[in-house]
Amino acid sequence: MRFTRRWLTVAGIAMGCLTSIANAQTTEPSGASEVPGLIVAPSDASVHDTATRFADQARTRGMTVFARVDHRQAAMSRSMALLPNEVVIFGDPKSGTPLMQCAPTAGIDLPMKALVWQDNAGQTWLGYNDPAWIAERHGAGDCDSVEALQRAVQELVDATLTEE
């Protein structure tokens, strides 16, 4: 009986260690999978460089970069600490307008936004709301324009991350 308990204890500890190692090697930041509609990808560059590359790639594709919001700088201006965290607000009426024609309330989620942040382990992440999730949120899941918008944003992200 004692041997069986020890064996189960050792097996339990081993499984816990393996689970911890597997979780540490995940390709998704902690908690990101719990955010509905958020698509994330790791970046090998800094937050600032990734956001700059993303904005440059958006402009190259004829999109408008409406703003960049540096949350860390804003926090620091109030003597608060925050890891690097920037939002790039971007879009193109050619791809956003058709979604709003399907569901005018989608305008609250447009133009699109990309969030670039650093996690506690020092990894940079690039995330954005899936256009299909936005459409579904506004009752326009069957809108024909969603796939083109998804493709355009994914190509933009891919170009940003391969530029590294």
Distances in whole angstroms, Cα of residue 123 to Cα of each of 28, 78, 145, 159 = 10, 25, 33, 19
Whether 86 contacts 116, CB under 8 Å: yes
Mean residue pLDDT of the chain comes to: 87
Whether 86 contacts 124, CB under 8 Å: no
Average pLDDT over residues 47-60: 98
Average pLDDT over residues 142-159: 96
At the fourth CATH level, the homologous superfamily of domain 34-162 is: TT1751-like domain (3.30.310.70)
- Residue 87 backbone phi and psi in degrees, to 5: -115, 135
pTM beyond 0.85, yes or no: no
Q: At what angle do helices 146-162 and 93-102 cross, to 10 degrees?
A: 140
Whether pLDDT at 22 is above 60 = no
Nearest to 85 by CA among 77, 93, 73, 97: 73
List pLDDT tens digits, range 67-98.
Answer: 999 999 999 999 999 999 999 999 999 999 99
